[in-house]
């Protein structure tokens, strides 16, 4: 690591930490059904929550105009106190988003003026800024889908918002790793290819994790290793929607089946990488990356099973999402060390 890159690396890793916090709070927001509590978006005026009871009452009355209250919460003795609770998590989620924006933009221009960014790093940071702006748009695009007729966000939009946050984190980490390890070494091509395949399937698994969350598909077939009625592929996988494709992308049973089955694929690919790596002489960082992958993927698999068996309690659902983040971190680090 070059000394002149130290502060840029700290900046990028701080962004990674904030993105991690953003996803964690986003998970709490989803699991507490708080995502539709703020019915509008303003860059400045809703930076802080309502500060008086009159403002709270005004916000609550505005919330009552939308489907979530009119179709669900109106029947649940939903009070202003309940509203304040769900409002907090959505506000906090957006507040961290604003902090991330400031943390990326202000130091970026500082490093630009001080000429601390090489041409290559500058290009990557511009991409990161664009990704951050697009992620903010995806957040509102997702929320918008639950404010019209259906009192729930589109599971496609939720998964897109979640997955792009993971990708933005991974790319930020990759840029930081390029600066931490500036000296290139010969890549191990077979292991690199296997790690790339593992990353693709891990991202597909994250996408389907978003589908499961968006459809509340973890609340059915709460059995393992088989689905309900002792079936590996339950009959309902094929009958909820009009076609097999729709069943596997919009049906609760089909989406859960894909997610639980792809978990075996991800575990298998990481184990294949681990055993294939034994044929090569690896650096310490390569070895640590692969070992971390094996440990984290088994932890994540176990959490996934427990989350399903216990019908997605808040703490288990959140732990499952957090460890998915650690798994992507380990995969990104390992692929980087096998590639450069």
Q: How far apart are CA 112 and CA 99, in angstroms?
A: 20
Maximal C-alpha separation, the chain: 68
Q: Could you read off the pLDDT of 109-121 as tens digits, one per residue?
A: 999 998 899 999 9
pLDDT of residue 270: 98
Q: How far apart are CA 249 and CA 212, in angstroms?
A: 10
Residue 77 CB contacts under 8 Å (≥ 6 apart), including other chains: none
Mean pLDDT, residues 54-60 taken together: 93
Checking if the pLDDT of 238 tops 90, the result is yes
Q: How far apart are CA 143 and CA 154, in angstroms?
A: 8
In angstroms and rounded to an integer, the radius of gyration of the C-alpha atoms of the chain is 22
Choose the weakest-confidence range: 90-94, 146-150, 283-287, 303-307: 146-150
H or E element at residue 206: helix 189-215
Residue 239 CA, chain-centre distance (Å), reads: 30
pLDDT of residue 3: 66
Residue 249 CB contacts under 8 Å (≥ 6 apart), including other chains: 211, 255
Q: Could you read off the pLDDT of 147-188 as tens digits, one per residue?
A: 887 778 899 999 999 999 999 999 999 999 999 998 877 789
H or E element at residue 129: helix 119-144
Choose the weakest-confidence range: 70-74, 184-188, 203-207, 228-232: 184-188
Residue 94 CA, chain-centre distance (Å), reads: 15
CB atoms within 10 A of CB 85: 13
Question: What proportion of the chain, given as a percentage, has pLDDT over 90?
Answer: 81
Q: Which residue has the higher pLDDT, 293 or 39?
A: 293
pLDDT of residue 140: 87
Q: How far apart are CA 337 and CA 178, in angstroms?
A: 10
Q: How far apart are CA 160 and CA 191, in angstroms?
A: 29
CB 135 within 8 A of CB 164: yes
CA angle 218, 222, 225 (to 5 degrees): 110
Q: How far apart are CA 301 and CA 299, in angstroms?
A: 5
Q: How far apart are CA 116 and CA 114, in angstroms?
A: 5
CB 187 within 8 A of CB 339: yes
Mean pLDDT, residues 58-68 taken together: 91
Choose the weakest-confidence range: 59-68, 163-172, 237-246: 59-68
Phi/psi region, residue 52 (left: phi>0; alpha: psi -120 to 50; beta: rest), is: beta
């Amino acid at each position: 690591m070059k000394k002149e890159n130290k502060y840029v690396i700290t900046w990028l890793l701080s962004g990674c930490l904030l993105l991690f916090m953003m996803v964690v709070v986003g998970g709490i927001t989803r699991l507490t059904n708080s995502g539709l509590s703020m019915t509008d978006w303003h860059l400045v005026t809703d930076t802080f929550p309502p500060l008086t009871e009159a403002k709270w009452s005004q916000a609550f009355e505005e919330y009552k105009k939308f489907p979530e209250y009119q179709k669900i919460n109106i029947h649940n003795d939903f009070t202003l106190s309940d509203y304040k609770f769900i409002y907090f998590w959505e506000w906090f989620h957006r507040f961290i988003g604003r902090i991330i924006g400031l943390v990326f933009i202000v130091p970026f221009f500082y490093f630009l003026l001080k000429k601390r960014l090489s041409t290559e790093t500058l290009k990557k940071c511009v991409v990161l800024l664009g990704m951050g702006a697009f992620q903010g748009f995806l957040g509102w695009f997702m929320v918008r889908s639950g404010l019209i007729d259906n009192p729930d966000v589109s599971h496609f939009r939720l998964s897109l918002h979640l997955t792009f946050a993971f990708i933005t984190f991974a790319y930020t980490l990759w840029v930081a790793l390029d600066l931490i390890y500036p000296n290139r070494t010969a890549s191990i091509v077979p292991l690199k290819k296997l790690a790339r395949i593992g990353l693709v399937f891990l991202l597909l698994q994250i996408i389907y994790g978003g589908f499961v969350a968006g459809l509340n598909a973890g609340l059915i077939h709460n059995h393992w290793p088989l689905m309900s009625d002792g079936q590996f592929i339950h009959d309902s996988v094929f009958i909820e929607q009009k076609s097999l494709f729709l069943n596997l992308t919009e049906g609760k049973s089909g989406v859960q089946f894909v997610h639980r089955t792809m978990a075996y694929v991800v575990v298998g690919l990481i184990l294949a990488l681990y055993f294939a790596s034994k044929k090569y002489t690896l650096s310490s960082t390569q070895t640590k990356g692969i070992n971390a992958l094996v440990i984290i993927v088994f932890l994540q698999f176990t959490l996934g099973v427990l989350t399903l068996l216990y019908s997605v309690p808040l703490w288990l659902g959140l732990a499952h999402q957090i460890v998915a983040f650690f798994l992507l971190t380990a995969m990104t680090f390992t692929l980087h060390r096998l590639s450069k």
